[in-house]
Amino acid sequence: MYKLFKMKVILAGLMFFAIACNSQNKVSNKTSMTQTNNQITPEGLEKATFGAGCFWCVEAVFQRLKGVSKVESGYTGGHVKNPTYRAVCTGSTGHAEVAQITFDPKVISFAELLDVFWRTHDPTTLNRQGNDVGTQYRSAIFYHSDEQRKVAEKSKKAADEAKIWPNKIVTEITELGVYYPAEDYHQNYYNNNRKQGYCVYVIDPKVEKLKKGFSDKLKEGVK
């Protein structure tokens, strides 16, 4: 076992907060389990896979939406088999940190998920989100079908034209390849570590933004 620290520096007023993305967590040598885009999806449900910075953030946001039954942190878009968190953090494997979302399209559509996606991270910064820098933090939509590709491209164009963000959106839209679930301690991270520094200073503001902008789409009793 060994410790891997990704330092997060958060400016708040006159204070700087140095936050490790995996502080108080030991990184295991164990590789993640292989999963592919051909895995079975429960009948009546669909999957969406988004990269929007640290997967803890993306997981926390989409877990709170009505119609979402599962959100799993994982890795995709790389060229190395069975990547570990440590390897992905170097930026050398080509993988993006992603959240794979299982949802009921009768309750929330893929287009509605994209609407949340555009507004809860900055899709205009190439290979970074705030102080998280590297290709593993790139903004990306990994589509599961040609229909998802079409919807994603249309949604991206609309978001650009609406000037949701002042700069041009640089989000990658690419077909989902081999997907790997992240190690167990990454799953449900925000809910299990609400007082951890990164959760307080980085994820909390994203969740609050979700609550204010999408109150009609939140699960009952969401916190």
pTM: 0.84
- Cα–chain-centroid distance for residue 96? 9
Our answer to whether residue 54 is catalytic in this structure is yes
pLDDT at residue 8 tops 70 = no
The structural domains of the chain, ordered by start, are 30-193 (3.30.1060.10)
Read off the pLDDT band of 5 (50, 70, 90): very low
Read off the pLDDT band of 217 (50, 70, 90): very high
Alpha carbon separation from 81 to 29, 66, 78, 95, 178 (Å, rounded): 14, 34, 8, 10, 9
Read off the pLDDT band of 42 (50, 70, 90): confident
Average pLDDT over residues 188-203: 97
Joined tokens for residue 140: 């990306």
* Closest to 192 (Cα-Cα) out of 6, 52, 60, 54: 60
Rounded distance, CA 140 to CA 137, Å? 9
Looking at residue 223, its pLDDT comes to: 76
The catalytic residue among 21, 54, 57, 199 is 54
